[in-house]
Amino acid sequence: MTDVAPAPEATGRTAGLRGTPLRPVRVPLGGGRTARIWLKLEAQQPFGSIKARTAEALLDHLEAAGALRPGRRVVESTSGNLGIALAGLCAARGYRCTLIVEPTTPGSSIDRMTAYGAEVVTVAEVPGGRTVDVRLDAVRQILRRDGDAVWTNQYESPANPRVHTTRTAAELVRDAPRGRFDAVAVAVSTGGTLAGVAEYFRDRLPDARIIAVDAVGSAALGGAPADRPFKLAGFGSGRVSGFVRPCHFDHRALLRDEDAAAACARIRRRTGISLGGSAGAAVLAATVHAARDPALRELACVCPDSGEKYAELTDGGDGGDGVPGEPPGAPAEISAALALLEGVCPDEAHDVPPAD
């Protein structure tokens, strides 16, 4: 079960963006210490993810520049969530839409894209974790063939991080307990969310530690791309982020996909909250750092979506018996943090409702 209700779909030209709730959970750290982790549940956005913010911002930016007009075709490379939001908004605004995905994109996400009328092109997987380059090559081929095609370019458009500065981060800081967080954890893919949140936090809560969370085998924060057999959609990337700079984070956490999935399983079982893989990674990283540093008591995690559409999160990670298993080969510190998450519990008396 999950406490996140399905978000209503967009109507008209806008995604109907809204403030999303902060749901606090308590993690026992031992020795009488606990950390409170505030989950910003972006699954309550239209289209079910934080990418509703990004998609609307990307389209608005192109329309304001005069590059996107009715009758034109929007093209984008996506691992899933952005494609769903773009497909829905393009249908509402009268644009054709072509989305380039890869074999690891959840089938349910592709079904939603096509239900909105989008054309979906699946490229072949390539070894070494660089399938995103194949997706981008497919985008460029379409742009060369079709003079009416316009690339939203989530990887470079300034609209991507900007919406997370003006909206996502601003909401977090507005709703922070007693006006502050000790740290905020954000998982990366394009890096737009991390860069946008960091810009706002550096200005408004400069003492808060910023934890950038990337996947082992991802190149998003400068690592070497590699095959990821248990790859979680929307977590990490085969290319370096064009947005994230060293000033945007204090700590970098590199986590295996299977450890992030194990964190999701524990959180779901203990709290009823369903999180997508990148959100589980953020919570796991926050737990690791809270265990290291007693000064980190109030931590925020951006949770881009829920876990329902990911078979590896709903059908795996618990051995089929409802009890989360221990991922083989987990580093000692990660195993310890996963053990701590066995004790995570809701802190419902301190829920912060969404507000706009």
Does residue 221 register a pLDDT over 70? yes
Please name every residue paired with 49 in a beta bridge, in sequence order, or none if there are none: 305
Q: What is the per-residue pLDDT across 280-311, written as a single tens digit (0 to 9) for each?
A: 999 999 999 999 999 999 999 999 999 988 87
pLDDT band of residue 326 (cuts 50, 70, 90) is: confident
Provide the pLDDT for residue 324: 58
pLDDT band of residue 7 (cuts 50, 70, 90) is: very low
What is the arithmetic mean of pLDDT over 210-237? 93
Cut 0.85: pTM above it: yes
User: For all residues of the chain together, what is the average pLDDT?
Assistant: 90
Closest Cα partner for 25 from 322, 248, 301, 210? 301
Provide the pLDDT for residue 141: 96
Distance of CA 255 to the CA centre of its chain: 15
- Label residues 28-50 b or e (16+ Cβ within 10 Å = b): ebeeeebbbbbbbbbbbbbbbbb
Provide the pLDDT for residue 3: 38
Provide the pLDDT for residue 22: 95
DSSP 225: P
Least confident span in 4-18, 25-39, 95-109, 124-138 = 4-18
> Which phi and psi (to 5°) does residue 133 adopt?
-65, -35
Distance of CA 51 to the CA centre of its chain: 8
Percent above pLDDT 70 for the chain: 90
Using DSSP bridges, classify how beta strands 96-101 and 183-187 pair: parallel, antiparallel or unpaired.
Answer: unpaired
Does residue 127 register a pLDDT over 90? no
Q: What is the per-residue pLDDT across 182-210, written as a single tens digit (0 to 9) for each?
A: 999 999 999 999 999 999 999 999 999 99
What is the arithmetic mean of pLDDT over 99-124? 95
Provide the pLDDT for residue 351: 59
Q: What is the per-residue pLDDT across 308-323, written as a single tens digit (0 to 9) for each?
A: 888 777 654 554 444 5
Q: What is the 3-state secondary structure (H, E, C) of 70-127?
A: CCCEEEEECCCHHHHHHHHHHHHHCCEEEEEECCCCCHHHHHHHHHCCCEEEECCCCC
Percent above pLDDT 90 for the chain: 79
Q: How far is 198 from 203, CA to CA, in rounded Å? A: 9
Give yes or no for a contact between 45 and 67, defined as CB atoms under 8 angstroms apart.
no
Rg of the chain over CA atoms, in angstroms? 19
Sign for the CA dihedral angle at 126, 86, 170, 159 comes to positive
Provide the pLDDT for residue 126: 86
Closest Cα partner for 305 from 2, 1, 45? 45
Provide the pLDDT for residue 212: 98
Provide the pLDDT for residue 356: 60
